[in-house]
């Protein structure tokens, strides 16, 4: 089976302020165990900047990324932004496209409410489909294969309490 992932938008060239943020966040995350918070106005390119940060980190170390968005309509938007702007990242839908063997730069995208919902937890965490690995098995296998697990919580103030 051949997989095709075609961006729907042209790639964006980062503005100078975005490039500075990308460099600073990348260095912080490579040199610290502390998380980073990117707070910026709507339309400032947060998804672009985070995608480029993840790419830079994947050049230095091997990562599998879990990216949670607050609303279901942002899942596809995030997937398209990553496809268009981050040639070294490969987005997947966490609910239905995860695999046993992910590679460096793979990004599993999900709606945070989908993961938190009691009715959806079985589908996400322990599916009955024998071809879809449980999330804990996927993470365990990624670690055994030398991948670190990174997490992006998009718009964390909306769906994540302290």
Q: pTM here? A: 0.83
- Does residue 135 lie in a domain region? yes
> Which range of residues forms the domain containing residue 67?
16-159
Q: What SS3 string covers 91-150? A: EEECCCCCCCCCCCCEEEEEEHHHHHCHHHHHHHHCCCCCCCCCHHHHHHHHHHCCCEEE
In a domain, 139, yes or no: yes
- By CB atoms closer than 10 A (0-12, 13-18, 19+), residue 97 is middle
88 closest CA partner among 60, 110, 56, 65: 56
Task: Provide the CATH number for the domain around residue 134.
Answer: 3.40.50.300
Q: How many domains does the chain have?
A: 1
Residue 2 lies in a domain: no
Q: pLDDT digit of tens for each residue in the chain (162 aa)? A: 555 555 555 677 888 999 999 999 999 999 988 888 888 888 888 999 999 999 999 999 999 999 999 888 899 999 999 999 999 999 999 988 888 899 999 999 998 776 666 666 556 666 667 778 888 889 999 999 999 999 998 876 555 554
């Amino acid at each position: 089976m051949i997989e095709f992932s075609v961006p729907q938008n042209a790639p964006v060239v980062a503005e100078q302020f975005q490039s500075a943020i990308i460099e600073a966040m990348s260095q912080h995350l490579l040199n610290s165990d502390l998380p980073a918070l990117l707070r910026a106005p709507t339309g400032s390119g947060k998804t672009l900047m985070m995608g480029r940060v993840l790419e830079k980190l994947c050049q230095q170390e091997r990562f599998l990324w879990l990216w949670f968005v607050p609303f279901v309509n942002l899942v596809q938007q995030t997937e398209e932004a990553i496809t268009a702007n981050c040639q070294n990242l490969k987005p997947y839908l966490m609910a239905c496209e995860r695999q046993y063997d992910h590679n460096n730069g793979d990004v599993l995208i999900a709606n945070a409410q989908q993961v938190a919902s009691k009715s959806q937890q079985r589908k996400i965490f322990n599916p009955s489909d024998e071809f879809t690995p449980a999330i804990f098995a996927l993470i365990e296998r990624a670690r055994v294969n030398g991948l670190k697990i990174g997490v992006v919580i998009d718009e964390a103030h909306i769906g994540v309490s302290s």
